[in-house]
Every structure is written in structure tokens, then in C-alpha cells.
Structure 1
């Protein structure tokens, strides 16, 4: 309590006061709404020139490294292209049997069989060659970083901060400086993939080493081994399961980044095929190419995931050897008659059928699809973006928003806020007034002093003065860099998508928690969505709704909703038995138990799910720039096409700042809830 007010009430009051002040002074001080251009610092130019100087200095070494990496890249391409496809499929089936028995062997056979029949076998092998070379680099680099942070506690916090930055910086932002350093080509994709995939490995190595039991470490010390012996012979083996989780995540991240890197380094791999067919509006072919990516992702995820299981079972290796022998015999027997695997385009009629079906579907349902698209655009997204006073027009809503309507809207909001305040919920009342002002003004039109004050106040409530200072300073760098308007546009679209994910994902998670049957239906869908590389999410929405902000909105939701579903369900089912028994003994109904017992206990877990959803939304926002978003994502994509290092790094840093602040605020509230629950 501060002066009779709670911290939340005081923070909301400060933000509201700044907002009202900006509203009252807007006509006489327009600089409160639009940040003056002559106040903007040439940060983008400075960053661009400084980075170019550094990159030019590093370019000789980078080009030498690129040349060296081209040899394993070429070797992997040659090897995968030279091995007959029956033997490669047999190898995957044999590995699947060894790791998961009949089910996983059948999954490998069917999956790679579909890849072969799609006609994208050569492109698929080129993609796997990139993964095969980039993943070892990422594993070695990530493991080294994790071990370093474990061995030297002083560098642990800086390393974790660096990993946070690497995972919040948009993927496209990696590509711009790499393009200057290494030029166009597949090696750029390889290096970008390794950089992007290293942080998950580093985090899991560090986490695994920190979780090694003290008794195990003491036993290693008492045995008289050196520090290196303790580390490599005792602690790393003890942390094996957590490290294998890192290997799994590293593989998936590398595959995802390889697809994105095709934008600048395409060389007839699957990512390039997806991009090319999307640009040509060949949606059937794009779906076939996207299917290949999904198959690879699912197989890699399932096979590597078994290695992270505590009680994994290795199946009879003799059968795996038999499968390999059968594949080798078939390859040698029919080597001269197999032909080019890229010519096995058996699924081409399916792609043609998809195109025809899509055309007939969109034609037959054009009115419904247009109504859905325009309804969400006109009645949800546009008011959030530019405010009720500019979004409600005769063309969109059928009438014109007037000053009197604004006054009436604020009057109703004030009455509701006063009612909440008089009932003892002052903070909720103040927040209601703030939200009413944001909706009337629009996120992209908010005065910059209000945004700084509101984010600072929220950060203060979530994490204290240190987080408040960090948030305000970081946001100020965006303000003075000239990227403020684009940052607000990104904040609006990602915020709208996160809100939709919170509502829809929370509801699905709730249903999945109370109904095992519902979870049996939802779980495989979530598994599939989590293994699909984010690039592929663009294809179906683009097929139905074409290029535009609405398509980007749907793609972000599809990619970011899974953590919200999973964490909501997990939090609700993890309620301790003694709490449930106490609630039942007190005579509480099922709804009361859910509302008053399970939901409060699940709040920290649900907040962590929201945190992941926010990070996923920002990651997808940049990819969605390919299909028509504005804001920082578009700036990053344009910088990539123009090789504008300054704009690419500045816009990428601005996006990372928004994600980082959101991450810290949500984590702060989650920690506060944990403390309140005594966890």
C-alpha cells in the first residue's frame, strides 16, 4: 500500500493521468501525439555504418569460413543425392524401428514414401543436407556456451541475457548482416540455421548441469577425478535426458530456420520451392512442398524426442539390420531402372485437385469468406488499430462516429469504472478507463508519453523499479530511432493475435482439462502444429484469404495458440490432491472448484503459457510480412531485400525489445502469483 492505494491502483492512476493530460493538451501540443521528426536521432544510419565497417573488417575471415563450410555442404549434398532412395528410406525405417518399434517404422516408411511420390525428393535431400551440416555446428556451439555458463557463474547472467536476445531477435534479422558477410548461397542458410538453433541447446545443457543432484557431484569430487573428468564422465552423463531435449529443440529450430533462409540462399531446396510456388500462386504445389517440410519435422521430432525419454526402449537391432539389408538389395537390384527420384511426381494430380478444389471452394463461398474477413477487419482489427473515432465510418459500420458518441462512450465507461471503484475494485475501474481510451484512440495513434508511462507503470507492478527503468529506457531507444510508428503497428497486430489466442486457447485448454475425450482430439492437433515450421502456416491462410493483414492475423494465431492450450490444461490438471479433497469436503460445486481452487493455483502456469504465446506471436509477425503486414516486420523484410544492414538491425532490435519487455512483465506477474501461492 502506498498512500492508501495498492501498487496496481497507483500504477493505473499514473497511466490514466498521463493519458488524460495528453488528450487535453493534444490540440495545443501536437508533439505529444506525433513524435517530432527533428527529435529523431540518426540511429539507423549510425548502426548501419558502424555495422558495415565491422562487417567489412570481418568479411575476409567470413568468406574464408564460407569457403571451408562449402566443402561439407557439397559433400552432404552429394552423399544424399548419390545414395539410392530405397536405401535411404530403409535406413530411416530401420532407425524408426530401433527407436520406436512398428509405429515409428511405419511412420518413417509412409512419410518418406509420400516425399518420394511428391516429386520433391531431390529438394528434400538438399534441405536435409543443410540440416545435417548446420546441426552439428549448433550442437557444439550451444554445448560450449552452456558448459561455459555452468563453469563460470560470473558469466552466467550475461550468457542468459545473450540467449534471451538471440531468441527474441526475429529470424529475418539474422539474415541481413549474414548476407553482407557471406553473400548469397546455401552457406548463408547453413550459418543462420546454426546461429538460430544454438540457444536451445545452450539453455538445456546449462539447465541439465544445474539439475544434477548434489550427491552425484559430491561423489565425483570424492572419487578424486579432475574437474574435466567430473564434468565429462559424471555430470554431463547425469544430465543426458535434459541435453537430449536440447538436441530435439536444436534439430527443430535448424529445420525451421533452413526454410526461412531460403529467401536469400535458395538452391533448389524445399524452402525455395515453397517460396517460389507461393509467389506463383500455385497453392497445390505449395501445399505439396509444405507437406514435405511437415513430414521431415514430424519424423525428426518423434525420433529425436524418444532419446529424451526417461524410460526409452530400444527395439531389436537385428530387425533394423534386416531392414537395411533389404533396402540395400533392392537398391542394387534395381539401380539401373530406378531413374531420377525427382520424376516420381505421382502426387501431381493431388496438387492439381487442390488447386481446382480451392478455386471452386473460394468461388462458392466467396460471400461468406469476404463477410468473415471484412467483419473481423472492420469490427475488430481496424478499431484496435486506428480507434473508434476513425474506424467507424459509413463505409465500414454504416454510420459516422461523432464527438457526441465519444463523450457518451467515455461517460458510460466512467459510470462502469465508478461502480467498480465503489465496490472495492479501484484498480479494475481505472484499467477499464484506460482500455476505453485506448479503444477510442487506437493503438497505432496512442501518444508516446502515455505508452512510456503505461508500460513503465505496468513494469513497476510486475518487477519493481529495475524492470520499470529497463522498459522505459528500451522503449525510448525505439522512440528516438524513428521506428516508433512501426513499433506500435507491430504491437497492435501481435497484441490482437495474443488476445485472440488467450481467449480461444484458454477455452480449449479449459475444455481439454475437464474432458479427457476432448484432450485426445486436441493433443494430436497441438503436436502437429508444434512440429510445423512457421513458414508453412502462411500457405493455407494465403490460399483462402489471399494477401493481407487478416491472413497474417490468422497465421499468427495458428502458430501461437498451442502454448496457451497446453499450459492452460497443464495448470488446471496439476492442482494438488489435498486442495481438491478439501474443496470437495467443503461442499463446493464443480464450477466453484474450477473458479476458486484450480484456476488460482493454475495462474502461474497459465501466465507462462501466455508468455510463450507472446514470443511466438512476435516470431511469426516477421514471417507474416511476406503476406502483407506493416510495421517492424515489413521493415525487416524490406531491409533484407535491400541489404540495408542498419534498418535490418534497428528494426530487429526494436522487435526484440517489444518481445523482451513483454516477456519480463509476464514473468514478473507469474513469479508474483507463485509467491502468493507459496510455490
Structure 2
């Protein structure tokens, strides 16, 4: 016992010593630099900096303008990909909103109108009923009716066309790569770091090369969306296939199934419910991408939110953002229902008896097409019937500003002086060489010597790229935001787990926060607090709060009942049961929630570059505005490396805690 105590004491001394040296260097590094006349202590020597940004930009320029693969050029390849993607996208736009035309320009003649708003709602209702029941059908139908009533129909249908193209490509591509990784261990090992980068590199970073390769327009936006939304499908596919019971696989082998038959007749059908969870993730990430993709020509609701943000139109931005939320709710609930749906026997009889929903929808399409020729309101929702909530939101924000300006300003000033500025000074003063060593030591002590070397190399890359100062600002903003999000989210999660009534409200609110597009958070925050680090921090906290709440609630609920009963038999009060039994056993889940909070905070920090932060996100955004692919990729990789280091350290902490608890 004494040996264990000495070991714990030594570990604490190591961490205290590391923090103490880091604090001292951060406070006095400038004085040390002045005394020794050694600028390299503060900034990585310019003559040794990597010039990867110019090399990457030059490579992309060569790829687009010079590369030749004998039979075709790289530009021919990108044009072919664009053509394949544009065909279904343009068809869906014509079907949903624009109608079908013959000819070009002023000579174009419409040969068929688009589906009427009534027909689209009827189709949505039929899908909801087919997926589950009339309750879901009513919810999905009400969501689409909301889009028409509140004047968001045109933009929503453009966004829906993008979703209907991006989701099948992302789901099919993710399924194919997941199957390949399941079949081949070396493919899985190769994909793992690629997926880590795809999920941690900020979206802005690869918008620039995609813009260069595919040009400005909806096709480039769709390519970016697929890249962003595909990784979860690959991971879920690998997990789902590995989770298929061995008995089913053995039965397939005994029946003489070939590898192809084993994949498509045993593995995929058995894993379908889990695979549909992956499809659901692809849908949600696609909708989360619509605003960012609008920066390179996607249009739709995303463009409306972005335009409102640029004009600081609080009402228009919230209206368009709520339309995305409503669409996300409809698609999310429908896809979840398909994941839970069980196969039913086919009905016998006529076509109408076998497919009653399809027959009804077809009848509605034909009826509205004919009636729409004489009654325009049947074809297009009348403007006179539309309702706008924009003035309400604008007036509400103005009222808050007028009545609570002094209070909000006092809160902002207090937090800036007491928290943000001291933490910023701490991180900004860390010398690059000591920062690299400290990152390596922390990773080594928590996750092993291999991760220690990787962490040091990744931080070395950031310093050698000349982005050390920006990286420290990123760490400061992310650290403060994550700390506040966990400080708020963990008690809320515990409350949600302890009180089912409150839990329904809290988790429902978290659902809303998770479906709101990231840009939407910026509009009210900027209106209330103006631009700067404080506004960025508030937006990041709101965006990253949900996983802290969810994982805390899940961890408390998943504590084994027999351990709770043992605590009660030992005479624990409810408070003691929470602090001495539930919370210690929930620590692994709390750490996983911390990990997800960090990931969301880093992804949101790139978005907050629009409100004046001076971190790596700002570097990525500047690269996008200048179409500088090299600068964007280097800054994006720097963000990704910070995310990977944090992810590995927190996962290692979670695994260590599980081993201590015997879980």
C-alpha cells in the first residue's frame, strides 16, 4: 500500500513539475529571449521552416494544368466526375423545383413542371408511414409543410436535391470501402489514419483544393460534402460486419456460399440495422455541411444562412437555420425508423394491393399536375399564405440588446479578465521547443512512448510550418470552451439521468443544438457580444455542449444495478451513491464525452474565424478566400494533428480508467 501511495505521489509530482515549468516559461519566455538575445526561443527560425504550402500549391497547379495520363488529362478526369455527379443533381432539381425544359437561355421552353408542393409532402408522408407508422408520417409531413408555410420551400428543395445525391454516394462509397477493410487487414490499417485525417482536418482546408480541381459550383460542393460525410459510414460498416454472429457465418460456409455470396447474402443483410445507423450519420453530416458548401456554390438553405450572416440579418438567418433543423429532424427520424424496421412478407394480389402507398402518391402527383394547370396554388405554395418569423427574431434580439446590454457587457468583461486573457497569456508564452517536449511527455505518460514520439513530431510539424502562435491561440480557445462545456454539460447529463422528466427536456434540447448548423450559432452571438474571442467561445460552447451532456447521462444510466444495490445495502445516501459509486464508474463514459466535445470544439473553431479569432481557423479561412490550397492544407493538418493528439490521449485515459475499474 505504501509503495502504491509513493507511486501516486511521484506521478503527481511529475505532473505538477511539468505544469510549473510550463507556467514559468510562459510567463518569462519574453524576458529570457530579451536577456539572451535569442529570438528562436519564441519563434521557430525562418530559415528552417517548411515551405510545404508553396510545394502543395505548385503540385495542384501541375495536376490541373499539366498532368497527363496518356489517354486523358487530370482535368478530363475531374470533368468526367463532375458530369457523372451533375446529371442526377440537375434531374432532381428539375423534378423538385425547376421543372423540365427544352432549349437554352431565352429559347428554353418548359415541357413539364416540377412536382407540386402537395405531391412532395404526400411522398414524404408515404415514406414516413412505410418506415414506421402514421405518427412518423404526420411528423415528416408536418416538417415539409413547415418549409412551405414559412417561405423556405425553394431553397429547401435545392438543399434536398444535394442531400439526395450526396447521401447515396457517401453511403455506397463508405459501404464498399468498409467491406474492403473488413476483408483485408492491411486495407483497414491503411484506412484508419486516412479516416482520422478526413474527420479532423477542417472542412475549409479541403474546400480550397476541391475548388481548384472542380471549379466553383454545386458539383464541387457535392464532392466536398461526400468527403466530409463518408468516414462515419466506413467506420460503422467495419464495426457492423465484425459484429455479425459467428453462427451465421458458419452457416453460410456450410451451405457453400462463395465470398461474394457471403458478403451480400449473409454479412450485409445481417448487419443492415447497424448499417442504417451509418446512413443516418451520413445524412446528418450532409445537412451540417450545406452552409459551408454554399461558400463554393451549393446554394439552397445554406446560402441563405451564409448571406444572412454576412448582412447580420438575425431574422433571416434563424429562419433559414430552423428550416435546416426541420429538414434534419424529418430525415433523421425517417432514417432511424428504416434502421429499426423489420422485413415483412410481400402481399399477394394486384399491384394496387401490393403497393397501396405508391398508388396513392402516384394519384396525388397526377391530380396535382392536372389541377396545377388551372389552379396555380396547387402547383406552387402561394406567397400570400406564407408566414415570416424573421421580424420576430430581429425584434427579440433588439429587445435583449436594449434591456440587457449592460449586464451582458459586464459578464463578458468579467470572463475576459478572469479567464480568457490569463489563459491566453499562458498558452501564447509557451516556447515552441518546450511545447513540443511537453506534448511528447504528456502523450508518453498517458498513452505510451510511441504516442509520445508521434505527438512530438506532430507538434514539431506545426512549429516548423510557422504556425506555433496560431496553434497556441487554438489550444487556448479550445481549452477554455471545452472546460466550460464540460462544466455545464456534466451536471446537466447527471440531472437528465437522475430525473427522467427533466431528461426528456434536456436531451430534446441537445437534439436541437446538434441539428442546428454551426453557422447559425454565430448570428445571435455576434448580435449580442460583437466579434472577438468571447463570441467565438460562446458559439463553441453551445455547439460542443451536446456530447458532454449525452455521455454523462449515458454513463450514469449504464452503472450496473447490482453495484447500486450494494451501495444502498452499505447505507449510502443518494448523494453518496452518486459521488462514490455512479460517478467513478461513469468516468470512462465522461472521458469519451470529453473527447467528442474536443472534436466538436476544434471543428467549430474554424467556423468562428468569421468572427475575428486569430488562430489556425483564421489561417484556413484566409486560405479559402485567397484560393491558396497549400496554406489551407498546412493549417488544416495542424488542426488535425492537435485533434489526433487530444483524441489518443483522452482515449488512453478512458482505457486506463476501465482497467482500474475492471470494466
Using structure 1 for the length normalisation, give the TM-score.
0.87
Distance 2:140 2:312 in 1: 30
Mark the CA change 1:353 to 1:580 in structure 2 (over 3 Å): closer, same or farther: closer
Which of 370, 389, 393 pairs up with 1:332?
370
Displacement of 1:541 in angstroms is 2.0
Q: 2-side partners of 1:334 and 1:144: how far apart?
A: 43
> Would the aligned equivalents of 2:489 and 2:548 in 1 still touch at CA under 8 Å?
yes
Asked if 1:208 corresponds to 2:247, the answer is: no
Task: Name the counterpart of 1:44.
Answer: 53
Match of 1:370 in 2: 409
Cα deviation digits, residues 219-277 of structure 1 (max 9, x gap): 1111111011111100111111110000100111112223211011144x111111112
Maintained 8 Å contact 1:15/1:453: no
The answer to whether the 8 Å contact 1:84/1:335 transfers is no
Instruction: Specify the alignment match of 2:41 in structure 1.
Output: 32
Structure-2 separation of matches of 1:137 and 1:347: 35
CA distance in 1, matches of 2:598, 2:248: 38
User: Which residue does the alignment assign to 1:67?
Assistant: 83
Structure 2 partner of 1:270: 301
The answer (yes or no) to whether the contact 1:119–1:343 under 8 Å persists in 2 is no
Deviation at 1:318, TM superposition (A): 4.3
Task: Find 2:196's aligned residue among 148, 164, 169.
Answer: 164
Shift of 1:493: 0.7
Match of 1:427 in 2: none
Q: Does 1:77 align with 2:93?
A: yes
Confirm whether residue 155 of structure 1 aligns to residue 187 of structure 2: yes
Gaps of 5+ in 1: 387-441
Q: Distance in 2 between matches of 1:161 and 1:381?
A: 33
Question: For 1:450 and 1:516, how far apart are their aligned partners in 2?
Answer: 48
Deviation at 1:156, TM superposition (A): 1.2
Matches within 5 A, 1:314-329: 318=356, 322=360, 325-326=363-364, 328-329=366-367
In structure 2, relative to structure 1, the CA distance for the partners of 1:525 and 1:177 (3 Å cut) is same
| Alpha-carbon distance in structure 1 between the residues aligned to 2:75 and 2:479 | 39
* Aligned position for 2:513: 529
Alignment counterpart, residue 563 of structure 1, candidates 532, 544, 547: 547
1:517/1:378 CA distance change after superposition, 3 Å: same
Which of 317, 321, 326 is the matching residue for 1:290? 321
- Counterpart-to-counterpart distance in 2, 1:611 and 1:37: 34
The answer to whether structure 1 residue 306 and structure 2 residue 337 are counterparts is yes
State the partner residue of 1:407.
none
Q: How many angstroms apart in 2 are the aligned matches of 1:276 and 1:311?
A: 43
Q: Which residue in the other structure is 2:141 paired with?
A: 109
Q: Aligned partners of 2:344, 2:327: CA distance in 1, in Å?
A: 23
Q: Call closer, same or farther: CA 1:532–1:356 in 2, change over 3 Å.
A: closer
Change (3 A) 1:342 1:646: farther
Residue 293 of structure 2, aligned match among 261, 268, 277 = 261
Match of 2:398 among 353, 359, 362: 359
Shift in alpha-carbon separation, 1:335–1:378, aligned structure 2, 3 A:
farther
The alpha-carbon distance between structure 1 residues 321 and 536, as it changes in their structure 2 partners (threshold 3 A), is farther
1:41: Cα distance to partner?
2.6
Shift of the 165–677 alpha-carbon distance from structure 1 to 2, 3 Å rule, reads same
Matched residues, number = 623
| Distance of 1:311 and 1:606 partners within structure 2 | 33
Deviations 1:56-81 (A, max 9, x none): 43333112321332222211111111
Residue number in structure 1 paired with 2:102: none
2: CA distance between counterparts of 1:506 and 1:260?
30
**CA distance, structure 2, for counterparts of residue 588 and residue 280 of structure 1:** 57
Say which of 113, 120, 124 aligns to 2:152.
120
Measure, in 1, the Cα distance between the counterparts of 2:564 and 2:574: 10
Q: Supply the distance in 1 between the matched residues of 2:390 and 2:329 (Cα, whole angstroms).
A: 21
Aligned equivalents of 1:61 and 1:330: distance in 2? 42
Distance 1:634 1:348, change over 3 A: farther
Partner of 1:503: 487
In 2, Cα distance between equivalents of 1:190 and 1:55: 19
- On the 8 A contact 1:55/1:177 being kept in 2, the answer is no
1:363 CA drift (Å): 1.9
Structure-1 residue corresponding to 2:106: none
Question: Would the alpha carbon gap of residues 585 and 527 (structure 1) be closer, same or farther in structure 2, given more than 3 Å must change?
Answer: same
- State the alpha-carbon separation in 2 of the partners of residues 374 and 343 from structure 1: 48
- Matched residue of 1:307: which SS? helix
Q: CA separation of 1:559/1:44 partners in 2, compared to 1, >3 Å: closer, same or farther?
A: same
SS in 1 for 2:256: coil
Q: Which residue of 2 aligns with 1:230?
A: 262
| Correspondence list, 1:363-402, <5 A | 363-386=402-425
1:531-546 correspondence to structure 2 within 5 Å: 531-546=515-530
Report the equivalent of 1:491: 475
TM-score (norm 2): 0.89
Counterpart position of 2:14: 10
Q: In 2, distance between residues paired with 1:229 and 1:654?
A: 44
Whether contact under 8 Å (2:497, 2:556) holds in the other structure is: yes
What is the CA-CA distance between 1:669 and the residue it aligns to? Answer: 0.4
What is the match of residue 350 of structure 1? 389
What CA distance in whole angstroms lies between the structure 1 residues aligned with 2:372 and 2:52?
63
